[in-house]
Amino acid sequence: MLGLLIMAIIVMAAGFVATMMIGQSKSNKKADPKYFQHTGKKWMRLSGIYIACIVILAIITIVVWKA
pLDDT digits (tens, 9 = 90+) for 12-53: 889 888 887 877 777 766 766 676 677 778 788 888 888 898
Residues 46 and 32 in one domain: no
Residues 23 and 1 in one domain: yes
Measured distance between the N- and C-terminal CA atoms of the chain, rounded to whole angstroms:
12
Residues 24 and 43 in one domain: no
Residue 36: which residues within 8 A CB-CB, separation 6 or more? 29
Residues 29 and 2 in one domain: yes
Output the pTM of the full model.
0.55
Q: Does residue 61 or residue 23 have the better pLDDT?
A: 61
Residues 1 and 32 in one domain: yes
- Alpha helices of the chain — where are they, by DSSP H? 2-24, 26-31, 39-66
d(CA 47, CA 4): 23
Position 60 scores a pLDDT of 85
Position 28 scores a pLDDT of 64
